[in-house]
Amino acid sequence: MKKINVILVCIFAGLFLSAKVMAQDKKVALVTFYCDKKIGGTGLGTGVESLMNDPRFNLQPIVEKAYTTFTTQFAKDFPFQLLDKTTVTGNPTYKSYSSKFLTDTASKANKLAGVQYAVVDGYIWAYAGGKLINDANRDELNLYKIFQSQCDGVMFVSLDYEITPGFQGLFAYVTAYFNMTLWDKAGNKVFTIREAGASKKKVAAVGGIPVMSVEKIQPLCEDATNILFVELQDKIDKIVKKSTKL
């Protein structure tokens, strides 16, 4: 009886490893990773625009750190492999691609500088519009075509932020949001994920609206992002299960 049990265990272990190896044969191109510097929230007025246009409001280190965490800690648990960054960012067609959805809401000269988005070095800004968009303008289809001989789907990742009022509006937090979508070769959405993490740090506010200065808001964005990624680690199993649909 013990011998039979050992054999069954070996068979199931073999099947599990075989399935894992087959899943790992799937490859996905991560085609964009960025954060939006335009902070969301109610009643913030022109403070949002002023903050976004302030050259000292630098979220680049935050998004670069988030990218490193994502690719080194999270991606290893996915049932597929990510194409090497250099394979994606070094492709001439990819580098010259311009999304039809790229609309920077910064004012005047800053619009041309592209100040609204902090994009991980080497990547381009892209947006997955879904099936309501004309196929010719769908970034998920156009970018997949560039790498179709090398992958089975494309992934889009972004971060955005929102001011969250605290108790009776006397202080405020920043909430960071993590957005990830995976699309298969036919342009079908495999999954979409939006997870949130609120900063532990807070700033004084009037009616839930803080002073929208770099000194006040940037540390909260960093704190919220760090907390978000700690909480994401606990939810990675759910993400991995959805990834098996690719």
What is the pLDDT, as a whole number, of residue 103? Answer: 67
What is the pLDDT, as a whole number, of residue 132? Answer: 87
Range of the structural domain that residue 214 is part of:
27-243
Residue 54 lies in a domain: yes
Give buried/exposed letters for 160-194 (b at 16+ CB in 10 A, else e): bbbbbbbeeeebbbbbbbbbbbbbbeebeebbeee
Distance CA 143, CA 185 (A): 10
Residue 89 lies in a domain: yes
What is the pLDDT, as a whole number, of residue 125? Answer: 95
Residue 121 lies in a domain: yes
What is the pLDDT, as a whole number, of residue 104? Answer: 58
Residue 16 lies in a domain: no
Closest CA to 178 of 34, 31, 27, 29: 34
What is the pLDDT, as a whole number, of residue 239? Answer: 79
Residue 134 lies in a domain: yes
Per-residue pLDDT of the chain (246 residues; tens, 9 = 90+): 555 544 433 434 443 333 444 445 899 999 999 999 999 987 788 888 889 989 999 999 999 999 999 999 999 889 999 999 999 999 999 999 999 888 656 555 445 445 799 999 999 999 999 988 999 999 999 999 999 999 999 999 999 999 999 988 899 999 999 999 999 999 999 999 999 999 999 999 898 889 899 999 999 999 999 999 999 988 887 777 777 778
What is the pLDDT, as a whole number, of residue 114? Answer: 54
Q: How many domains does the chain have?
A: 1
Residue 181 lies in a domain: yes
> 3-class DSSP state for residue 115?
coil
Angle between helices 60-69 and 214-243 (to 10 degrees): 20
Residue 15 lies in a domain: no
Residue 20 lies in a domain: no
Which residues touch 203 (CB under 8 Å, ≥6 apart)? 171, 172, 210, 211, 216, 217, 220
The identity of residue 136, as a single letter, is A
Is residue 106 within 8 A of residue 53, CB to CB? The reply is yes
Closest CA to 117 of 138, 102, 137, 97: 102
What is the pLDDT, as a whole number, of residue 243? Answer: 77
Is residue 116 within 8 A of residue 102, CB to CB? The reply is no
Closest CA to 142 of 91, 190, 94, 192: 94
